[in-house]
Amino acid sequence: MSKIKEFVIPTVTLFAICLVASVLLGLTNKVTAPRIEQIAYETQQNAMKEVMPSADSFDEGKELTLENGITVEYSSAFSSDGSAVGYAVTSTGKGGYGGDIRLMVGVDKTGKVTKVSVLEQEETASIGGKLMSQESFLNRFVGISGMAALTKNGGSVDAVSGATKTSTGLTDAVNNALLCWQFLNKGEVSANG
């Protein structure tokens, strides 16, 4: 009987602790989920307004899977009179040193980049991460249409020495936003979505 007691009491105690912890976590999630969702929505809206300052409103985001397998999310941007001024595109770039780089890219109705804002990145804080916070580097993409390319690849965007992979990831993300614009406006790029 003593052996059963040694097994049953700790098992029941552990079960009770897990049950209480699970209920508390579930309640916490139920209470905080709407607020977290609201903050994510506001952050998204602020990022869209930042990259498309001429826009007064945006439609609900839509997803588009590009031929290269990357899925972008885009929202059409409208001026106060309701005319389209471009798109705010959430885009991912491959090839960063620390992994994928997610950007919000504004593309006007003529296909030119209006502004770039970093949403997520895991680059080395001392080099690539520092680069991502420098407005001067991100502004190198403003005004580009067609496809962006680093100068080492014959393009017009200077990579930063020591952060070439970060520069490559950023360029890839901007290009994915431009591919989205091309598909939406010219139908030249194969996409599913």
Helix (H) or strand (E) holding 6: helix 2-51
Contact 113, 105 (CB under 8 A): yes
Residue boundaries of the structural domains of the chain: 51-192
> Does residue 107 surpass a pLDDT of 90?
yes
Q: Encoding tokens for residue 182? A: 């091309």
Query: 26-40, 140-154, 171-185: lowest mean pLDDT where?
Result: 140-154
From residue 57, give the alpha-carbon distance in Å to each of 44, 89, 181: 13, 14, 18
Residue 126: per-residue pLDDT: 57
Task: Tell me the pLDDT tens digit for each residue of 49-91.
Answer: 999 998 999 998 899 888 888 889 999 999 999 899 999 999 8
More confident position, 167 or 176: 176
Task: Tell me the pLDDT tens digit for each residue of 118-139.
Answer: 887 665 555 555 555 567 778 8
From residue 5, give the alpha-carbon distance in Å to each of 1, 9, 14, 17: 6, 6, 14, 18
What is the distance between the alpha carbons of residues 48 and 104, in angstroms, rounded to a whole number?
A: 7
> Does residue 189 surpass a pLDDT of 60?
no
φ, ψ dihedrals at 177, nearest 5°: -65, -40
* Residue of 63, 108, 106 whose CA lies nearest to 84: 108
φ, ψ dihedrals at 56, nearest 5°: -105, -20
Residue 154: per-residue pLDDT: 56
